[in-house]
Every structure is written in structure tokens, then in C-alpha cells.
Structure 1
Amino acid sequence: MNDNDASPGDTASRRPHWEQSSPAELKQLAESRPAELYEAARQLCRSAFSEGSEGRTVARVLGRIVDALADTRSRDCARFVVDIVGLFPQLGPELLEEGDRLRRSAAEKLVKAQQLRDLAALFGELPERLDDPAVEVRACILGELAMIGAGRGRPVLDAYAERLRDLRHPLARLPRTRLDVEHRFGVRVRGLGSVKTSEQLRSRFPEVSATDGGAEGGRKAVESAEAGRAGAVAEPFVVSGWSREPEARFFALPDPLGPDDFNVAFIKELPLACLEGEGTRRGVAVSCRTTPDDVINELFAAAHHGGVNGQGQGGAYARLYAWNSLYALMGLPGDLPFLDAARLVADHRWLRFMAFTDWFHHDTADVAFAVLDPTGTRVAVLAATDTDSDSHSDF
């Protein structure tokens, strides 16, 4: 290795070479001399730990090296990536979240780029504990494989997944194949981005007209404070750094609400922060009937893509956060099997709604759902916005 190819851990003065290298340059090195790139990352981790280097700078360079290796199809590159992200904790406790993000991102890239047989070679040794970054990245890889329906039936992967279940890894709860209700995860359709206007909402979903019975039912609703449940509902937006804390509220009704009365008139009678000032801006609040796959896809997308001030969480954890939120919206016990939960979602009624208030900015991402349980007596509401609460849109 000459001076031009010096590893980033050789000296602090040579690190800018790696910081300024283009993705194409790193990719070329990953294809031609992956072992040297791997050793460069290891030296960078060692020097950062011993010299007290700026952790975030090191993390950024490591992330770029990991990206280049993960996108290069070879068994060695896959192994190098797992080893590198396993070294990340050496950079200090202040970068724990960054380490989680890097492992989740690396797992997602590996599953997209590498052959299954080369990934399976990473799972020869069963884990003994969960507090090992190398175990965590493998758990994420299994989670990403589940998203594409791959890996089941391979003994080495099945054994590893079973051990993770025994150790109670959170991802091990998820099915190892995608359920029907998850069919939209990661699917992007040209022209169908975020719903930003009432016209877009009406064009995609059947509108539910306001009724007097809906307004009457809303006036009778009694709020129940459930902090733990609210936290689970909001989880996909909080972990991914959406710019404003979501609103998650729960209400009980003395009498069953008729299906046709679950509409915008009902929603407007609830004491929701997202509807404060409704009617003072130009535009009319709208509610439309939607489906469970639309709801869980929005929850998944929020965690997967990340907020404008946050980071995406990778597919495996985005899926977990989406399910945690959906369970909480329906008030289901956490130990209920996923197939049973997927069956129960069809018994609930789901609404999307939108209003013209200080909450709904209509310029980045606004999401608002309400769900009515099968008895017609319990309602959960979720509203989230990825626009800074101090900014206002001009309608």
C-alpha cells in the first residue's frame, strides 16, 4: 500500500483523504482490494479509541467504507462489513445511536446486494448473549431477509433465529416472512408520495361524509389516559426523528358508535391538539375510509425513511416499530401472535383525516388516523407531522 492508499488509521493527517474520497473511489477499492479497505477501517477504529479522535467524524468515514463494502458482492466483503460494525462501540457511549443506525443500515444493504449463500456463511456460530454488536447485526440481517421472504429452510439461519427467540431478541418476535398486510412495505409508486392536500386524500380514499350522529357521539366520548400505550403508538415517528412529538389519544364511548357515524364530525368533537383552531384557516376538514395495510405502511415508512431531522431505522426495525404502533392503536396485548393481530385488523374501522390548522402544514408529511374497535365503543387517534411546529404554511 503506497501513500495514496494509506489506511485512515495511519495518522490523523491522512484521514481527510478518506473523508474526501468519492463513493465511486471507495467502491473501486472495495472491488479490487477489499482486505485493505477492511484493515483501514480496523485501524481507524483503533486509532480513534486510543487517540480520542472526534467520534462523529470517524463514524462518518466508517459508514462510507461500510457502504462500499456492503454494496460489493462477495463473501469476504459481507464478512468485513459485519466485523467493522461490530467494532463500532469502541468509539464511545455517546455514539450508541449512531452505532445502531450503522448496523441496521449495513444489514439492509447486505441483504440487497449479497447472495444468500454468502450471508448464510456469517451464521455458523450461535449467539450466547444479546449485548454483542456482531449478534445485533446478524439479527438485523435475518429481519431484512424476512422482509423479502428469504432464508427460511436453511438450517444455519433457522437455528440462529431460534436462538434469538430463546434469548428474547425483539426482532425475533416478527414472522420470518412478510404478511399480506405488509405488502406495501418499501413499495414506491410513481406519483404517489405523501398525502399533502385534501384533494389528494379524496382522490386516493373514499370520503366519509359528516353526520349528526357522528357529532353527537364525539361529544359523548371520554378520554382515557394511557401513557405507555401512547408511547408505543408514537414510536415509529419518535425513533426516526420526526420534527414534532406525535399526538396519540384514546377515547371511550358509553354506547356503540354506528359505522357510518365514524367520520369527520365525530373527530372534530374530540379535544385533539391537531384540530385546535379548525375552521379558522381556509379549507374544510376531511375524513376518508382507509385500510389496515395503508396504516401500517405509513407507520413503517415513517420509521424506515426517517424524519427531516432524524435518521431511518432500517427495514427490520421499522417493521418492528410499525407493528408495535399498530398493536397499540388497536389495544392488543403484546404477546398476541402476529397472525392473530393481522386477522383482527379487518374487524376494526380505519379513518384517515386532515384539517387546516396549525398542526397540518401540508408541505412535508402529515399523517392522521383514527381507529374504531369492533365493539364501536373505543377509539384511538394518531396525528404526526414532520414539519417544524414553529413554521406555518400559508393556505
Structure 2
Amino acid sequence: MDDTDDGTGNESGRFPWHTAQRHAAQGDSRQVADLAVELTERIDTATKETDEHRRQLAHLVRVLAITPGQDSLTRLLRLFDRQQGHGVDLAPRFVASLLAEHREAADLVGPVSERDAQGRLDELRICLFHELLLRGVDVDVFGQMSDWTRVMHGGHPLAWLPRHRSALETRIVLPSRSVDGGARSVGVTLPAEDRVDPPAPRTTERSALVDSATLDLHRTIIAAPEAGGWGHSEAWLFRTDEDVEPDRVPALLPTLPMGCVEGLGATGRFEIARRPADAIWSLLFATASLGSAYHHGAHGAFGRLWAWKSMAALGGAPADASAEEVERHVRRTTWFHFESDAEWFCNDAFTDYGIAALSPDRRRITVLAATDTD
């Protein structure tokens, strides 16, 4: 290294960085510290420039995805097919969502199905498959789409999902986006129908049931709000020695040792409705896919996955169950949607909810609570 090279690639008349220890030992610590300060400033500047480049890249990719026509699509796919440098993320999950929203399946199938020897389009393809499916595309009409779910490098989490829309997936809320921005509906409200609010004043006696959720179960239950970047979420599991009838659950929930009902007392607001399985799936899907006040969400494909996984864990389906087995199980589960004025919830801008599930054998109650604020 040249003696005038400061180690940053610029000549500045300073000693080389790799001799810093010797210079410091000779009492020249000031120059060592000055160079360290200069390097931290250069790193900060470079980081800011890189962040700006990433924002610009994201915008350009968005423009290509949304702009109509085959030319923009072809150039977008070529961009994905290039070897990407370190730190470059073309956001295939987001791009797949944009493509499915703004382009017809018939226009996508041919170009997206073209040969990809390195598997660089795998993530885009499998996400696009599920994005189109969620938007009502009949994937059986386009035979080539079946290949999109096969990835080159090992298995893929999305491969677990059903390859057709389930009867659970009927209440799908999707975002509306343009080049300059977009709109989404993330508000959560407790429905007026099927309300089963326990009468107040309620008992203040605490239940003797104990939370027995394992770490793995807890993580899986909260997967949907975590994927959506919600502010806070928790999960609990309570096992009973006797059958619990569904009509007992609304009064039992406020007595359980859970932060989301702590401090309610006998008269604090606790409202609850019994809900069908598809309504719960819809709530979890919106939570994961649309995101929160400060998070863009997991988008459609992975939002679909985490909605299924959270619901499976809430309903008590076996960990190795297929999607078809999960659906059968959760349809036999009794579902509740609740809200409360406990301090655990932010109670701000319709971004709070609780879900309770009573298992088919009526001896397992699982709860998910999620909250967010702007």
C-alpha cells in the first residue's frame, strides 16, 4: 500500500491505516483518532447514499411493474434475471403483488414462464402464482403456472399452501396502488352481528387456568401480526380438565391470566362476537398482508401463508398437518373476535383485536391479541 493511502482509497498524505498500532505506540494517537472519525463520517455518507439508491431503485422497479405493455414487463424480468450485487433487493414479493394487481394473467404467463436456468425468477414466480390466485385467477386455465410453484433451490414455504382458493378465502381485502402511492384498508372493527357480550358487572374472580403455550406455539400464533409489523402481539393457551361449552367462553375470557384483559374489573369494556372461520382467516390475512401504521406488510402470497399458519396454531391443528387437514380442523373449531379497554391494547384507530379459539374437543382455549398505533 502507498504510504499516502489512508485506507479509504483516497490519497490524503496520511499514514496507511494498517500502521495505526505503530503510530499510536509512538504517541501519534491524534492522527489515528482523526482518521477513525473521518472514516465513520465517510461510512455514514456512503450509507445514506446507498439508502437513497435503494429508494430510487424501488421506485424504478415499481414503475416497470405498473406501466402497461410487454416492453416494460420484459425489461423488468431481465432485471430480475441478472446476477445481483450484494445488498441489492428487487423485492420480488412486492413486485409480484404489483404485477398481479396491474396486469392480466394472460399477459404475464408467457414472459414469466420463459426459461430461467439459474432460478433467479423462482421467488417472483411462486409469489405471483399466489397473488393471482388470491385475485380470482383460475390457475387451471393457464397450465404453465403450475410450474411456478416449483423452485430450483430446495423447498419453499409457499409450497405448503393449497393450489386453489379455499372456501376459507372468500373475504379477501387487497390494496390499491399506483406509481406514486396507494391506499389500503387496515382498520379492524368488531362486527355488530353475533355478539355474545357477557353481562356486566362480571365476576372479578380470576380463573385457575394456567397459560401453557410453548415458545414455538406462541411464535406461530402471532405469525400473522408479526409479518404485518404490528406494534405488539401475544398468545396464550389454556387447557381444561372438562369440556367447555361455547356459550361459556365469553364470560371465561376476562377471567383468564392474560395481559389483554388485565385490569378490566367488573365493568370495563369487554365486547365479543362469535365468528365463522372464514371471517377469522380474513382478519389474519389483512393483518399480515396489509401491514400496520409503519409497515408495508408481507403482501398477498406470504400474507396468505401466515394467515393459514396462525389460524392452524390457534385451532390446535397438528404441526405437520397439510393445508387441507388444517381447513377441516379449523372448521370444527369455535371462533370468537373480541375487544377490551385493558391497558394492554392501544385502542387507537381501529388497530386492536383479540381472537379466541375453542378446539373441537372443547378442552383447549387459545388466544391471540394484537395491537398497533400510529
Please classify the TM superposition score into its range, dividing by the shorter chain length: 0.7 to 0.9
Counterpart pick for 2:187 among 167, 176, 194:
194
Cα distance between partner residues in 2 of 1:224 and 1:362: 27
Q: How do 1:144-293 and structure 2 match up within 5 A?
A: 144-147=131-134, 148-161=136-149, 163-164=150-151, 167-186=154-173, 194-195=187-188, 201=190, 203-209=192-198, 219-244=207-232, 246-263=233-250, 265-279=251-265, 283-293=268-278
Q: Does 1:296 align with 2:286?
A: no
Aligned counterpart in structure 2 of residue 55 of structure 1, from 46, 50, 57:
50
Aligned residue in 2 for 1:82: 77
Equivalent pair of 1:287/1:351 in contact (CA under 8 Å):
yes
Alpha-carbon shift at residue 380 of structure 1 (Å): 0.5
Moved more, 53-62 or 309-318: 53-62
Larger C-alpha radius of gyration, 1 or 2? 2
Q: Which residue identity lines up with residue 238 of structure 1 in the other structure?
A: E
For 2:68, the equivalent position in structure 1 comes to: 73
What is the CA–CA distance in structure 2 between the aligned matches of 1:111 and 1:351, rounded to whole Å?
Answer: 33
Match of 2:332 in 1: 347
Deviation at 1:369, TM superposition (A): 0.7
2:132 corresponds to which letter in structure 1? L
Structure 1 unaligned runs (5+)? 1-50, 389-395
Q: Equivalent residue of 1:111, what SS?
A: helix
* Contact 1:78 1:118 (C-alpha < 8 Å) held by counterparts: no
Cα drift, residue 231 of structure 1? 0.4
Show the counterpart of 2:365: 379
The 1:127–1:183 alpha-carbon spacing in structure 2 relative to 1, beyond 3 Å, is farther
Residue of structure 2 aligned with 1:138, choices 103, 125, 145: 125
What is the letter of the counterpart of residue 67 of structure 1? R
Distance 1:159 1:184 in 2: 27
Unaligned runs of 5+ in 2: 1-45, 176-184
Q: Select which of 116, 124, 133 maps to 2:114.
A: 124
For 2:294 and 2:83, the matched residues in 1 are separated by 23
Deviations 1:223-272 (A, max 9, x none): 2131111101111211222122x111111001111221111x20112110
Q: Secondary structure at the match of 2:85?
A: helix
- 8 Å CA contact 1:253, 1:377 repeated in 2: yes
Q: 1:79 to 1:171 in 2, by over 3 A?
A: farther
- 1:103 paired to 2:120: no
2:228–2:292 Cα contact (<8 Å) kept:
yes
Whether the 8 Å contact between 1:149 and 1:178 is mirrored in structure 2 is no
Check 1:311–1:89 CA distance in 2 against 1; reply closer, same or farther (3 A cut): farther
Q: Per-residue deviation at 1:135?
A: 1.6
Q: Secondary structure at the match of 1:379?
A: strand
SS at match of 2:230: coil
Distance 1:116 1:202, change over 3 A: closer
Residue type of the partner of 1:71? I
Give the corresponding residue for 2:12: none
Corresponding pairs, count: 317
Q: RMSD of the TM alignment (CA)? A: 3.0
Q: Which has the higher helix share?
A: 1
Separation of aligned partners in 2, 1:377 and 1:291: 19
Q: Is the 8 A contact 1:215 1:266 kept in 2?
A: no
The letter of the residue matching 1:69 is: L
Q: Taking structure 1 as reference, are residues 226 and 211 closer, same or farther at Cα in structure 2, changes over 3 Å only?
A: farther
> Of 287, 290, 302, which residue of structure 2 is paired with 1:317?
302
Rate the CA distance shift 1:174–1:202 in 2: closer, same or farther, 3 A.
closer
Q: Which amino acid aligns with 2:67?
A: T
Counterpart for residue 102 of structure 2: 113
Given that 2:348 and 2:372 are in contact with CA atoms closer than 8 Å, whether structure 1 keeps it comes out as no
User: Could you tell me whether the CA contact under 8 Å between 2:290 and 2:298 is conserved in 1?
Assistant: yes
Q: For the residues of structure 2 that align with 1:119 and 1:323, how far apart are their CA atoms? A: 27
Asked if the contact 1:214/1:266 (under 8 Å) is kept, the reply is no
**Per-residue deviation at 1:384?**
0.4
Give the CA deviation at 1:385: 0.1
Contact kept, 8 Å, 1:349 with 1:373, in 2: the verdict is: yes
Does residue 364 of structure 2 align to residue 369 of structure 1?
Answer: no
Any idea what SS the aligned residue of 2:293 has? coil
Q: CA-to-partner distance for each residue in 1:336-372, whole Å, 9 max, x for gaps? A: 2323322222211111122112122322300101100
For 1:88 and 1:270, the matched residues in 2 are separated by 54
Instruction: Give, in whole Å, the separation in 2 of the partners of 1:215 and 1:344.
Output: 33
